[in-house]
Structure 1
Amino acid sequence: MKILFSILVGTLAGFHAVLAQSPVKIAVVGLTHSHVHWILGREDIGDVEIVGIVESNEDLARRFTARHGLSMDLVYPSMEALFSAVSPEAVTAFGSIYEHLEVVQACAPRGIHVMVEKPLAVSNAHAREMAALARKHGIHLLTNYETTWYASNHEVKKQVSDPAVIGPLRRVVINDGHEGPMEIGVNQEFLDWLTDPVLNGGGAVIDFGCYGANLMTWLMNGQKPLSVTAELKQIKPDIYPKVDDEATILLEYPETQGVIQASWNWPFSRKDMEVYGKTGYFLAKNNTQMVSRTAGERSESIRQLPERPYPFDDPFSYLAAVVRGKVEVKPTDLSSLENNLVVVEILEAAMESAAKGQRIYLK
């Protein structure tokens, strides 16, 4: 009862904080990434206000605005047209990964904060330029992952941060993916760039390998792996002729091994994580379910966790809190620029490893 009361009090405090501040003016740049429905269909709780949408594909813009009851008056054909009409405080990017650099190039000199959908960039070259622009102009450059908002992942991190619980980390296995973008029926505009090796940077290795690289870097407190070894496959070349649809990435640390299994071939969608220590393990099964077994326990324990409190429950409340200075982004955080620069380095090394058939050592 006390726990329930504390959760209720915390939630109410969060909403009172929202009401006490003006909403952060946000522009949505790009509609081709289907994750954009997350913000377009988000309940209005007063923390953010969409002041503009950039999308050159008028048909796509009409479909999505109609679906969510938004006015086409919000839509602009380019970022230049948007910025000449409105002054957003932050931008959320929902175009191709290749376009992330262009968004930061346009926003950073204007002092506009940016949140991109995962991963940060298609390459180290893009990522480094984006980081340099963000630092030069003093903007926040965040990367959003669905798994950042999973209560189970944060509980696992809390538990393994105490070496007395299961001892040092030995092995982490992170599984992400689904049956395939074509198979699950993503819209054509999304599919066109998601399966393009330039616009997405790769296939499943980028689309889902980034989740594992992000979580692993977080669990390791920002530490880079010593080396990256990867195998990429085209199990369905008839459907995905230009990119991989199956990726296994091994990350070597001094005393820990990370295994990232990213796939467009799972029988069902999944985003789960297994963390093994010397004397026990924790499994984050989904957003709120955690399974564990530690020393002295004769069987597994299953915990159903409450969802994370505001503003750590979704990317846009978090972005608003960061912009307003209510939340500090630490270098080791999941959304941080520092973490996501390592993510891109891991993904690029994975692609190189698979192409050369050898282990790649990171500098």
Structure 2
Amino acid sequence: MKKSIPFLFLIFGLLSSAFSQVVPLKIGVAGLHHGHVGWVFEANERPDVEIVGIAEPNRELAERYAKQHGISMDIVFDSLEEMLEKTKPEAVTGFGATFHHLEIVQICAPRGIHVMVEKPLAVSLAHAQEMAQLARQHEIHLLTNYETSWYASNEKAYEILHSGQIGETRKVVVRDGHRGPKKIGVGSEFLEWLTDPELNGAGALMDFGCYGANLSTWLLDGQRPVSVTAVTQQLNPADNPKVDDEATIILTYPNSQTIIEASWNWPIGIKDLAIYGLTGAIFADDGSHLRVRMAEGYSGFSEEKMELLERSRPYDDPFSVLLAVVRRETQLGQFDPYSLENNLLVMEILQAAKESAETGKTVFLSKK
């Protein structure tokens, strides 16, 4: 027992030393109008992330968050340009309206500052293409963060699918939705732009349809859909007078089909995924629960249920991913959910979905 005490002190000392040697990623925050902004303030409490500046002209909003999270108003600036000049962040995270993502990249890319935005990448394909061109020209990383990128269940589903266990993919169904932003009580600053067709690009189609397009692109290794067919409705015009609140998008591929269900009308919040192969099916019911059913006869099946631990670092958290990519500790796969390649195709899909919903016709994507 006498030897164990010095040993414990040695381990404690080594861990303390390791944490003390962490050089935090200096992050600038562009905007505070997104309901997910709390994530970056939570990350700021870790030793590997430091918020050095915030660009937010709404002083009342900034003061609210500063007080809530113990942030000095000395690092809050009215403009992104001033914040970058005064604080010199390594990367900027976008937490404003999706429409402003382009402006963030226009300002950051020429300065060599990396960018991560909340999903989706942009409000339109034209915005996305300009962002991509700037990112490549100035050699910055441009990431898009989706909550479902952290899900251990989705990672395991990808692994099982690509192992060949359920055979070749025939159908993917992705469902994402809740009761609607107003009914779940999002902040007024978030609700204002989320239900604005210019600032958000659409309603539920953009807010939740992007998840399915992102996951389908990843699961199918970057395949381009042959066609996109979408139907949108406005089932709750009182809460969502300017945008759709119900969307179903069908993507056809040469050998499979993806159905994306996006809703602001569901009684229960849902983010799930189903993959149907020739010999079995995978069901990711939420972030940590997975079921695999292998076919037996006509309607029979054997089922394996899994409860999964969090994804391993850095993929358990978006800011860990950002740090690892910026510091060149990891390299994203070409069609990783965070990747620019994936999210450019997502924007092609969403643009085609909006066109299809407006015209009532199937839109065929050009071949590349």
* Residue correspondence of structure 1 range 335-354 to structure 2 within 5 A: 335-354=338-357
Kept in 1: contact 2:248–2:262 (CA 8 A): yes
Match for residue 360 of structure 1 among 359, 363, 367: 363
CA–CA separation in structure 2 for the residues paired with 1:259 and 1:130: 28
- Per the normalisation by structure 2, the TM-score is 0.92
Question: d(CA) in 1 for partners of 2:92 and 2:201?
Answer: 22
Q: C-alpha distance in 2, partners of 1:74/1:26?
A: 11
Rate the CA distance shift 1:100–1:16 in 2: closer, same or farther, 3 A: farther
Q: Within 5 Å, give how 1:1-363 maps onto structure 2.
A: 20-42=21-43, 44-163=45-164, 165-295=165-295, 298-363=301-366
Classify the secondary structure of the residue corresponding to 1:80. Answer: helix
Q: Say which SS state the counterpart of residue 182 (structure 1) adopts.
A: coil
The one-letter amino acid paired with 1:236 is: N
CA distance in 2, matches of 1:143, 1:313: 15
Distance 1:232 1:25, change over 3 A: same
Q: Indicate the SS of the match to 2:198.
A: coil
Larger Rg: 2
Q: In structure 2, what is the equivalent of residue 6 of structure 1?
A: none
Q: SS of the counterpart of 1:130?
A: helix
Change (3 A) 1:179 1:78: same
* Structure 1 counterpart of 2:4: none
Inter-partner Cα distance in structure 1 for 2:200 and 2:216:
21
Counterpart amino acid of residue 306 in structure 1: L
Query: For the structure 1 residues 14 and 343, does the alpha-carbon distance in structure 2 shift closer, same or farther, using more than 3 Å as the test?
Result: farther
Task: Judge conservation of contact 1:14–1:311 (CA < 8 Å) in 2.
Answer: no
CA distance in structure 2 between the aligned counterparts of 1:14 and 1:346, rounded to whole angstroms:
46
C-alpha deviations, 1:66-87, integer Å up to 9, x for none?
A: 1112111121110121122110
**Aligned amino acid, residue 248 of structure 2:** T
Note if contact 2:295-2:302 (Cα within 8 Å) is conserved in structure 1: no
Cα distance between partner residues in 2 of 1:17 and 1:290: 35
SS of 2:320 mapped into structure 1: helix
Matching residue's letter, 1:350: A
- Whole-Å separation in 2 of the counterparts to 1:20 and 1:141: 27
Contact 1:26 1:88 in 2 (8 A): yes
Distance in 2 between the 1:21 and 1:306 partners? Answer: 25
Query: Which runs of no fewer than 5 residues in structure 2 stay unpaired?
Result: 1-13
Q: CA separation in 1, counterparts of 2:315 and 2:236?
A: 38
RMSD: 1.7
Aligned partners of 2:282 and 2:15: how far apart in 1?
29
- Cα drift, residue 293 of structure 1: 0.8
What percent of counterpart residues are identical? 55
Q: SS of 1:128's equivalent? A: helix
Using the alignment, how far apart are the partners of 1:26 and 1:322 within structure 2? 14
Q: Residues 17 and 173 (structure 1 numbering): CA distance in 2 closer, same or farther, change over 3 Å? A: farther
Please, which moves more after superposition, 20-29 or 133-142?
20-29
SS at match of 1:126: helix
- What is the Cα deviation at residue 231 of structure 1? 0.1
Deviations 1:171-230 (A, max 9, x none): 110000110000000000001100000000000000000000000000110111000000
The secondary structure found in structure 2 opposite 1:328 is coil
One-letter code aligned to 2:347: V
The CA deviation string for residues 284-317 of structure 1, in whole angstroms up to 9 with x for no partner, is 1111100111245843221101111111101001
The AA in structure 2 aligned to 1:245 is: D
List runs of 5+ in structure 1 lacking aligned partners. Answer: 1-12
Q: 1:294 to 1:59 in 2, by over 3 A?
A: same
The one-letter amino acid paired with 2:157 is V
CA distance in 1, matches of 2:256, 2:302: 25
Q: Distance in 1 between matches of 2:233 and 2:303?
A: 35
State how far apart, in whole Å, the 2-side matches of 1:298 and 1:245 are: 36
1:16 deviation in Å?
8.8
> How far apart in 2 are the matches of 1:17 and 1:240?
50
SS of 1:103's equivalent in the other structure is: helix
Normalising by structure 1, report the TM-score. 0.94
Q: Is the 8 A contact 1:14 1:310 kept in 2?
A: no
Q: How far is 1:332 from its partner?
A: 1.2
Q: Distance in 2 between matches of 1:259 and 1:291?
A: 19
SS in 2 for 1:181: coil
1:45 Cα shift?
Answer: 2.7
Aligned residues: 350
Alpha-carbon displacement from aligned partner over 1:147-179 (angstroms, at most 9, x marks no partner): 00000000000000122x011001110000110
